[in-house]
Structure 1
Amino acid sequence: MPDAQKIARYVEDNAQRIVETLCDLISFPSIVMSDPTKAGPGERDCQLYLEKRLKKIGMETDLWEPDGPALYEKYAGRPGANKGRTFEGRPNLGGILRGTGGGRSIMLTGHIDVVPPGPREHWRTDPFRPEVIDGFVRGRGAVDMKGGVASMLMAVELLGEMGVELAGDVVFTTVVDEEIGGMGSLAMVDRGFKADAGIMTEPTANRIAPLCHGILWGRIIIDGIGGHAELTPNAWYSSGPVDAVQLCRQMLGGIDILNRRWQFDPRKNHPLMDLPNQIIVTQVNAGEHPSSMAGRAEIIIDVQYLPSEKDALGLGGNVKREVEEHVAFVCQADPYLREHPARVEWILDADCAEVSADHPFVETFQQAVADVSLSPKLSGFGAHSDIGLPTTLGQTPTVNFGPGDPTQAHQPNERVSVEDLVACTKAIALAICKWSTEPKAS
């Protein structure tokens, strides 16, 4: 195996190729659609581009469109199983580079779907015409997470060019559907892609993150009684109206109370996470007409949970009940809501995972990042990622590690530094070498 310095120098000498690969990937508008039965305009083309690159370096490839209804029937009630998904025109991609034998295998995985760019006037550049400005690659997906996909692809390509022989297999997968629930990763695991360890190249600012949050999306529905906004209302119990906006304010205050409680609850905190679990209000929809009191309000929430809080199915059922009980408690404080309580409808449950800090791969990866002058200190990934599916269902202990500031994700003018891309590629290349040389457990 070549030493770390030789690998680092070769990667640095090919920095421009890493940048060009990322720019190629960004130029495909692989936008995830809000309607999960429709393909984004560039999802298939992006995967075809990657398949061509994998074949060029000698990988056995598998490009397929998962059967969404069949997957749901097989895994209903389990992580990643989302009803109503179809994958026509939005394939998954897998590849395997066979090792010489006897070494440990590694899976490099990521998603190629990106969120819509939003209003174009918020962008300084065209989101799908990438530009390199002041040492940063700019464009939709630069951070989340085509930067990571470019780094993991180039790590394998450059090792091959150096003539490095790996004892263990390298498994490469890129999936769709991550931004709306993770069924692409479920399909990947169900297809049989697995390894002795894995790296998911979500943006972590090149920190190893063996932990991510689970995420619940929910809708709190509050029914008032509509009526003329400008007239003095009678008591609600006679003829109404009851302003759902006012009731919504009370519920938002109740959410603040629960967040305050969670701030000091040991179950809601983890030493690798910067913040406690939170309930984040992401949308508020209320009212029917400018001169009418709102007859209904909806609060959309994003709720975080930790692996230690998972239910028997590996999902967030325990936290769902906790939120539902708190909503019912808030309703008890209002005479109208006592009689007409708010209800919670759950939209999504995306699972989470944690790989132990003393897992052999985590320790090997820490050595690799230290050898290329990155910090080996572990951190938590505050957002959700798909590591739960390969880790638990696929039995491939998988950590997050990728280039870029994660707070750039989903923002206009998304950007990743060339320095981060190169450093990530070096770390992954060295980790592949180190892990491959370790004998496979008997």
Structure 2
Amino acid sequence: MSDVLHLTRELIARPSVTPDDAGCQALIAGRLARAGFAIEHLRFGDVDNLWATHGHGGPVLALLGHTDVVPPGPREAWASDPFLPEVRDGLLYGRGAADMKGSVAAFVIALERFVAAHPDHPGTVALLLTSDEEGDAIDGVRKVAEVFRQRGQRIDWCITGEPSSKAALGDLLRVGRRGTLSATLTVHGVQGHVAYPEKARNPIHQALPALAALAAKRWDEGYESFPPTSLQISNVHAGTGANNVIPGELQVLFNLRYNPHWRAERLESECEAVLRAHGLEYALHWHRGGEPFHTPEGPLRAAAREVLAAFTDGALPEESTGGGTSDARFIAPLGAQCIEIGPVNASIHKVDEHVRVADLERLPDLYLALMARLLAD
């Protein structure tokens, strides 16, 4: 059994449902300490974070990942126990196999090999892990980034191991992510009997034109490789369950995924202007999940393009800013250039999550080649 397959299985066997790390970081810290890394544990609330470094000064190359996983759902729906890793027909099954314990294990193996081959490498190579990526993302990399900002910790390049590939390992290079902004809107009305609407005020009727305006609004035409900004209404709730009662309140949840044309504050103002224009009596709570980031052409993208082409028989990867978001949104504001490279994402968060063993066994070489290209060439 290969080193990376063995370590991935060890990590999957620890049921680290967010925010519980279940001992994953302690296992990794022990290995990297033996390889000569300085280890720092940063625990905030119920969240474990690990910062492991080797070398001194700049440039600083950080590998970014998470040890937490989403809940497995009904275990009887899985062909095998989600926390008892099993290889079947060339696939490794288990919760976190693709998202992202396989990448984390590959990071560790690549780091061990890199410092063994280049003990006196220039700059600093680092690993940053959290157990709060799949959850609220409050006490994980967001909080670590605040600590780094306060103490002047520099990060020049960041490689996140999120499962980014579409059909084959290395066919996609993520060079940015959209921002995410969520809202909880409460529209206030006056409850009453449906037969006497003049004595009530129906918040559903009042809100529908405003919600239609928000949903139909063309926010922008996109930005470089980013798609246009999108607003999606995800939940609508009102009423008592009775068909003869006008509700007194309506609650709506919506989310915006936005490109670098915008910052959260401007989007909030635009949305509230629409609500005010429709005369609503409302309360609105915003949650800023993270601003968009984009890595321009430079050493990191050039190195990634060259390395991935070598791993895909010369085919250049698609360079994309699609998908949801990642913890890199907290590292980019520190001044870091950020990319994401990882295994195929077709099974993430699903029953019978899996990763190809052949892809998993190539991942350490891919990350090692990137480290060598950036810090040893």
Q: 1:92 aligns with which of 39, 49, 52?
A: 49
- The answer on whether the counterparts of 2:164 and 2:174 sit within 8 Å (CA) in structure 1 is yes
Distance 1:119 1:341, change over 3 A: farther
- What's the secondary structure of 2:173's corresponding residue? coil
User: Between the two proteins, what is the percent identity of the paired residues?
Assistant: 25
**Matching of residues 149-168 of structure 1 within 5 Å:** 149-160=104-115, 163-165=117-119, 166-168=121-123
Distance 1:410 1:177 in 2: 15
Task: Tell me: CA distance 1:44–1:63, structure 2 relative to 1, closer, same or farther (3 Å).
Answer: farther
Does 2:357 match 1:418?
A: yes
Q: Find out whether 1:235 has 2:197 as its counterpart.
A: yes
Query: Could you say which residue in structure 1 is the equivalent of 2:215?
Result: 256
2:177 maps to what in 1? 212
User: What is the SS of the residue equivalent to 1:208?
Assistant: strand
Give the one of 56, 70, 75 matched to 1:115. 70
Q: How does 1:45-84 map to 2 (within 5 A)?
A: 45-66=23-44
| Partners of 1:117 and 1:250 in 2: CA distance | 39
Q: Structure 1 length normalisation: TM-score?
A: 0.73
In terms of fraction of residues, the more strand-rich structure is 2
- Alignment partner of 1:29 is 2:10: no
Q: Aligned equivalents of 1:277 and 1:148: distance in 2?
A: 30
Give yes or no for contact 2:215–2:233 (8 Å, CA) kept in 1.
no
For the residues of structure 1 that align with 2:139 and 2:322, how far apart are their CA atoms?
20
What is the root-mean-square deviation in Å for CA atoms of aligned residues? 2.8
2:284 is the alignment partner of 1:284: no
Instruction: Pick from 242, 258, 262 the counterpart of residue 305 of structure 1.
Output: 258
Provide the secondary structure at the position in 1 that maps to 2:140.
Answer: helix
Q: 2:140 aligns with which of 170, 184, 188?
A: 184
Question: Where does residue 125 of structure 2 map in the other structure?
Answer: 170
Decide which of 351, 365, 369 is 2:291's aligned counterpart: 351
Q: C-alpha displacement at 1:185, in angstroms?
A: 1.4
**Pair 1:226–1:418, CA change in 2 (3 A):** farther
Equivalent residue pairs, number: 363
In the other structure, the counterpart of 2:340 is: 400
1:201 corresponds to = 161
Match of 1:146 among 74, 87, 101: 101
Q: CA deviation at 1:212?
A: 0.6
The answer to whether 1:127 aligns with 2:87 is: no
1:320 aligned onto 2:268: yes
How many angstroms does 1:248 deviate by?
5.7
Deviations 1:344-388 (A, max 9, x none): 21133322311112x112112211222222634421142111223
Asked if the contact 2:42/2:144 (under 8 Å) is kept, the reply is no
Q: Cα offset for 1:148? A: 2.2
Q: Which runs of 5+ in 1 are unaligned?
A: 1-13, 33-39, 67-86, 311-315, 333-337
Residue 51 of structure 1 aligns to a residue whose secondary structure is helix
CA distance in 2, matches of 1:156, 1:53: 10
Distance 1:317 1:221, change over 3 A: same
Point out the more displaced range, 290-299 or 22-31: 290-299
Name the CA shift for 1:347/1:19 in 2 (closer, same or farther; >3 Å).
same
In the alignment, is the contact (CA less than 8 A) between 1:233 and 1:241 conserved in 2?
no
The structure with more helix, counted as a fraction of residues = 1
Question: Whole-Å Cα distance in 2 between the matches of residues 413 and 324 of structure 1?
Answer: 43
Partner in structure 1 of residue 4 of structure 2: 18
Change (3 A) 1:27 1:295: farther
Give the whole-Å Cα distance in 2 for the aligned partners of 1:249 and 1:18.
53
**C-alpha contact (below 8 Å) 2:118/2:376 kept by paired residues:** no
Q: Give the distance between the partners of 1:140 and 1:173, measured in 2 at CA.
A: 21
Shift of 1:122: 4.7
Q: Report the 3-state secondary structure (helix = DSSP H, G, I; strand = E; otherwise coil) of the residue aligned with 1:178.
A: coil
Gaps of 5+ in 2: none
